[in-house]
Chains A and B, each alone.
Chain A
């Protein structure tokens, strides 16, 4: 039982955070009435001595529900609202309801009279008055195309009118409907946001205890090791539909893996053809083709279902270092070693070349879904190029930029810096810095990070200490480090359609698939576990 801390009548407070007793009781009463417990509601009013609504308001509400418009207008003036404009607006919507109900009852002349003698003289919202006049011409049962009366002329239910009025009035006059419920839902949202491990739609949201997911919601256990590459695995990425995984390696090949319904990964195609290590891959917008980029070599385009190489893209002796698709899948972009960006059509015809310092020797290239190109143009600067308008927006950092990742929804950029920090930037609209993540190790190589989990609530990154680091995106807190690899983890990719599936690529020549930690005594697969310390 809360003890009243201060007794000052209306301002009596019942908690240390300033919750006023009168307000608290009134919203409880509203909750009871909303649920249909009117007897209990009335009894609460009696026992607490705190009226839910003043008597005038109660009468007013009843008059609205009964459709006694003239009486309700009279009551309106007695309620004690100080603001003249609010009273006028309230009169307007009440009379508007009267107008619609008359029209609906085919009492056209009466409706016209109301419009002329009651509504128009209020001298507010002349535009609406004009619309109402047109509606007289086309009452609900004779909807005439072209006249604005195409909208529903059926009068809204009186309870809805009451809701509109309640939104108009100051909250002390009429308690907003379902206010208590609204406050509770706000609290639940807050709990969900602060839950570090929240990683699924199915969450038990009980009101009885605070919401806290356990660690077991994040993929933290190796469920599969894929040893099929013969050398360091540098890059990997899931397709957008989560059905495939593509990996590329310094063994000059790339592999397409298939993810089956149980989450089991199997080799589908080995893509052979490059003469150099394959530094990265890029999925087509439709997930049916893929680009592979040989390090300072050529770009190859492959068909996923057949594994066939469909086209090779090169520009003389100038090697490519990155590749990307246009959002409609018709053009290929590539960053070249001469710092320009090349654009080919699917058949290999050169369409455009963006010269000047557009990219660096070791650099990522991404395209957004609205066709903008993102690339590192200077040591500490990322540029977002709009090819059509020619405009450029920049992200400037204090440190040298190593690599970056674009979020699946194209709204955020995760930038990896030389000082072992990951910076999250929002790039939609106004470019702004959001937060940073620390803990992983990166000093000599490119180590990549990704977004993932339910509603992209997590950031995961590889690390030179052979571990995977996972942070809660919102709070920036490091929540998990996954050990198992015996070499630097170069790249991670979180399945966009399965928040419980993570893949990692390592210098130890393997790819590991991570899943949820099941305390499963029936599991008979023995996974070699290596202490990740160097």
Chain B
């Protein structure tokens, strides 16, 4: 879309704002070392408590990503008590990660026992039933990677659970669940879409962030 350069140059951007945007992104993603460098170069102030929390969050997410759900849960309980109590969906996702771990290590008996002990109580609530059945189906196959539910074993799935966990912990600590950077990009995309529709332009050229950044 052709831009009117006059519009852009009239807007002043505060350095501090830019730094804060980057900082929020880094904190959100627990990039501890990078945060420290940025703080050192820009003179921004970050409360020590926030840095500590970030460290803990990093460890929790790391556990989740490697499939060590039990440690992730334990540490979450320690850092944000009641979080999982009030967020059953998340708890279920984490427990199921552990179940998947056991399946992958071919420890069927343990997996079954774990499921019977920890996962079946969720079965009483209708919305978990289908998810539960999805996971249980993995038990039936000697090679779960070849079963219809193989996507539950993937890294992408663990990433998805870790992201949810991250957002929940941040929200619990009254911090924004989405980084400022993410919010800005989303907003820009939506606004662009609406504008081009309103102006009657072809919607086939949907807003492409990549293209925009290059221009």
Residues of A within 8 A of B (CB): 108-109, 112, 115-117, 119-121, 126, 129-134, 136-138, 144-148
Contacts and interface: CB of A to CB of B under 8 A. Distances in A.
B123 A133 contact: no
Interface string B123-140: 111101100111011111
Contacts, number: 72
Please provide the 8 A-B residue pairs with the shortest distance between their CB atoms, ordered closest to farther: A130-B137, A133-B136, A147-B123, A133-B140, A120-B140, A146-B129, A146-B123, A133-B137
A108 B109 CA distance: 10
Nearest to B125: A146
Given A112-B108, A130-B133, A147-B132, A136 B139 contact: yes
Contact of B132 (A112, A115, A116, A134): A134
Given A130-B133, A133-B136, A133-B140, 14 more contacts: A108-B112, A109-B109, A115-B140, A116-B139, A119-B140, A130-B140, A133-B138, A136-B112, A137-B115, A137-B116, A137-B136, A145-B123, A148-B129, A148-B133
A112 B133 contact: no
Contact of B141 (A108, A120, A137, A145): A120
Interface of B: 108-109, 112, 115-116, 119-120, 123-126, 128-129, 132-134, 136-142, 147-148
A137 B142 contact: no
Nearest to B115: A137
Contacts of A120: 140-142, 147
Contacts of A136: 112, 136, 139
Contacts of B120: 137-138, 144, 147
Contacts of B123: 137-138, 144-147
Contacts of A116: 108, 139-142
B112 A112 contact: yes
Contacts of A112: 108, 112, 139
Contact of A117 (B115, B128, B142): B142
Contacts of A117: 142
17 contacts: A116-B108, A116-B141, A116-B142, A121-B142, A129-B140, A130-B134, A130-B136, A130-B137, A130-B148, A137-B112, A137-B123, A137-B136, A145-B124, A146-B125, A146-B128, A147-B123, A147-B133
A146 B109 CA distance: 23
A108 B112 CA distance: 10
Contacts of A130: 133-134, 136-137, 140, 148
Contact of B140 (A109, A132, A138, A146): A132
Given A112-B108, A116-B142, A134 B136 contact: yes
A148 B137 CA distance: 12
Q: Which of A126, A132, A137 has the most CB of B within 10 A?
A: A137
B61 to A, nearest CB: 30
A146 B148 contact: no
A132 B139 CA distance: 10
Contacts of A109: 109, 112
B133 A134 contact: yes
A147 B124 CA distance: 7
Given A112-B108, A112-B112, A147 B140 contact: no
Nearest to B133: A134
Contacts of B112: 108-109, 112, 136-137
A304 B168 CA distance: 71
A117 B139 CA distance: 11
B124 A146 contact: yes
Contact of B126 (A133, A138, A146): A146
A114 to B, nearest CB: 10
Contacts of B137: 129-130, 133-134
A383 to B, nearest CB: 47
